[in-house]
């Protein structure tokens, strides 16, 4: 047991060493380059809001998905939840369009988050439209496939959207903290 624990610690140490060596070595030490790498603060704020709204979209999709297997829930509950999802998707679409306009001023991580959000948001929008169409054609469709499959796809796309943006922004925050740490170490050594 102890040998396995030691091997696990050693593997983690080696991984972190490789990761830190690969990350810290190329970090710029000059403040002007560092400021560019930190990214545009307005974009960072918009992306943080976008991430929160994507999380809210995922929660709403989860709520709709939880209604689907129930025969006790009326079609109007589905219609109400689909309307909320449609409004959320439209809001996220407007926000993403604004972010895409700001993309030239974004740093690499911010650009990556902006670029990777679009396909997932389009997927949610298409599935919400499909679910609305199915419900419009037949109110009883809420009790089985293909409606239930479409609702599940909404949830899957919403989850992918949130997780993708969340992961990229978490990475970006860690990268910025490392950059700031490297800059403060460089400044302290220069004093």
Give pLDDT tens digits for 126-160.
Answer: 999 999 999 999 999 999 999 999 999 999 999 99
Residue by residue, DSSP assigns the chain as -HHHHHHHHHHHHHHHHHHHHHHHTT---SHHHHHHHH--HHHHHHHHHHHHHHHHHHHHHHHHHHHTT-SSS-HHHHHHHHHHHHHHHHHHHHHHHHHHHHGGGS-HHHHHHHHHHHHHHHHHHHHHHHHHHHHHH-GGGGGSTTHHHHHHHHHHHHHHHHHHHHHHHHHHHHHHHHHHHHHHHHHHHH-
Topology given in CATH for the domain delimited by 37-190:
1.20.120
Give me the chain's average pLDDT, please.
84
Q: What is the mean pLDDT of residues 86-113?
A: 96
Give pLDDT tens digits for 37-77.
Answer: 567 899 999 999 999 999 999 999 999 999 988 778 899 99
pLDDT band per the 50, 70, 90 thresholds, residue 165: very high
Asked if pLDDT for residue 32 goes beyond 70, the answer is: no
Asked if pLDDT for residue 107 goes beyond 50, the answer is: yes
Domain spans of the chain, in order of start: 37-190
Nearest to 37 by CA among 188, 190, 181, 189: 181
Q: pTM for the complete prediction?
A: 0.76
Per-residue confidence (pLDDT) for residue 37, from 0 to 100: 57
């Amino acid at each position: 047991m102890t040998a396995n624990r030691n091997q696990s610690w050693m593997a983690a140490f080696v991984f972190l060493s490789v990761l830190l060596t690969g990350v810290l070595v190329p970090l710029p030490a000059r403040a002007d380059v560092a400021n560019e790498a930190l990214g545009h603060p307005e974009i960072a704020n918009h992306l943080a809001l976008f991430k929160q709204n994507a999380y809210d979209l995922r929660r709403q999709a989860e709520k709709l998905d939880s209604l689907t297997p129930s025969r006790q829930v009326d079609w109007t509950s589905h219609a109400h939840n689909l309307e909320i999802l449609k409004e959320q998707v439209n809001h996220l679409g407007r926000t993403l369009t604004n972010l895409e306009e700001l993309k030239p001023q974004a740093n690499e991580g911010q650009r990556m988050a902006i670029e990777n959000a679009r396909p997932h948001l389009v997927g949610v929008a298409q599935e919400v439209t499909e679910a609305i169409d199915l419900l419009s054609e037949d109110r009883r469709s809420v009790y089985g496939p293909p409606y239930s499959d479409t609702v599940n796809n909404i949830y899957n796309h919403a989850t992918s959207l949130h997780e993708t943006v969340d992961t990229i922004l978490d990475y970006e925050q860690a990268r910025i903290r490392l950059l700031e740490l490297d800059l403060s170490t460089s400044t302290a050594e220069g004093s």
